Amino acid sequence: MKILLIDSLDEWELWRRDWQSLTEHNVMLSYEWLRAWWAHFGVGHGLHILAVIDEDRLVGFAPWYQHATPLGNQLRYLGSGRVCSDYVTAVATPHLQAEVFVALLAATREAIEQGQFGKEHMGFQLEGAAADDEWLQQLTLATERQRYSQQTQELESSWRIELPECWEAFCKQNLAKSTLRKAKKAKARIASGELCFRQLNRVGDLQEGLDALIRLHQARRSSLGDEGCFADPRFEPFLKQAVEGLLSQQAARFVVCEVEDQIIGVQLQFVSGSSIQMYQSGVDPAFMRLEPGHALVYYSVENAIEEGRSYYDFLRGDEPYKAHWGAQPISLVRRKLIAPNWRAQTVALVERKLHWLKDHSKKLFQPASSNAE
């Protein structure tokens, strides 16, 4: 095995086919997803993918980039930030994982010892990893030996339903009674033709699905007083490029809920191996009486069961409805591995103090609760 530093788009493109085969289990590690992210969020930064090559095949990689700041550079995961990529980690051919991780850790240790990350190296900021991720734990231990310190921040969890073999068995799982009632209502509305569903899963369907998603996602966020992720001008072109690539690989689809040919609800789903991942959704606030959000979940879960999937994954976000549908939380974290130099340690100390002040200011200015009858 040998280590290759991929720091150009041309070099990355050469390994595209192997990359795709390694990431079938998670769309948010796929070439299509990360390449689109880099095109729209990577401006001003530098690719720094550590690849492991064995007999002219890509057998593993750490999907990093050098994130430039006025104070220095951090190694971060591609796909970080606003787009909320989940379960990000180093990737390896399953039967070679131990050897790949050893090679990646050795290359990282050598880069640290020889100053290959540059004089402005501030450490690592690894976002969207599962809290129990094996690669994250090994990298943390390896950098501790190099006198790096660490900070771990819990993010909102992802939420995943383990699917049984049939819908009837799913209904017997630990679901809220109110959720079962909503599922029955959705089933009746679909059976009567009041609600209709379509899947948009071809490249030619991209614009219809994306237009519906933007309109309904933003309408719902606006009704809740939230500007929504599309307020970032980079997000829409990123998502369009990413989903177009994923549709061409049969790894994405839009599921739309309609009333009299009007789309009132939509989910953007990723097909990730044995899982269906619900990345983003939107509903029309004017049709909440029909509960299009719950109808979408009912339809999508039942469809995933019929397809023989093992999981339906709501991904990141602690909205209460996910638990009501029987989903279990998976802890996600942002971990900083802070380089042992005065600049990095000082910045980390200041950030901790500012975070403490922010938290305590919120508590100080919260209105006092009243116990009056």
- Residue 50, domain CATH: 3.40.630.30
DSSP code for 219: H
- Answer whether 105's CB lies under 8 Å from 113's CB: no
- Answer whether 319's CB lies under 8 Å from 129's CB: no
Tell me the pLDDT tens digit for each residue of 307-353: 999 999 999 999 999 999 999 999 999 999 999 998 889 988 888 77
Mean pLDDT, residues 263-282 taken together: 97
Query: Are 9 and 113 within one domain?
Result: yes
Query: Encoding tokens for residue 281?
Result: 């959704």
In whole numbers, what is the pLDDT of the chain averaged over residues?
A: 93
Q: Is the pLDDT of residue 140 over 60?
A: yes
Tell me the pLDDT tens digit for each residue of 151-168: 999 999 999 999 999 999
**Cα dihedral: 176, 177, 179, 184 (round 10):** 150
Query: Encoding tokens for residue 251?
Result: 């790894």
One DSSP character per residue, 156-217 reads PPEEEEEP-SSHHHHHTSS--HHHHHHHHHHHHHHHHTSSEEEEE-SGGGHHHHHHHHHHHH
Q: Is the pLDDT of residue 257 over 70?
A: yes
Q: Is the pLDDT of residue 30 over 70?
A: yes
Q: Is the pLDDT of residue 364 over 70?
A: no
* Block residue for tokens 């739309």: 256
Query: Are 124 and 203 within one domain?
Result: no
Query: Are 24 and 151 within one domain?
Result: yes
Query: Are 42 and 95 within one domain?
Result: yes
Confidence of residue 118 (pLDDT cuts 50, 70, 90): confident
> With pLDDT > 70 as the criterion, what percentage of the chain qualifies?
96
Name beta bridge partners: 69. 72
Q: Is the pLDDT of residue 372 over 70?
A: no
Query: Are 111 and 215 within one domain?
Result: no
Query: Are 326 and 341 within one domain?
Result: no
Phi/psi of residue 146, nearest 5 degrees: -95, 15
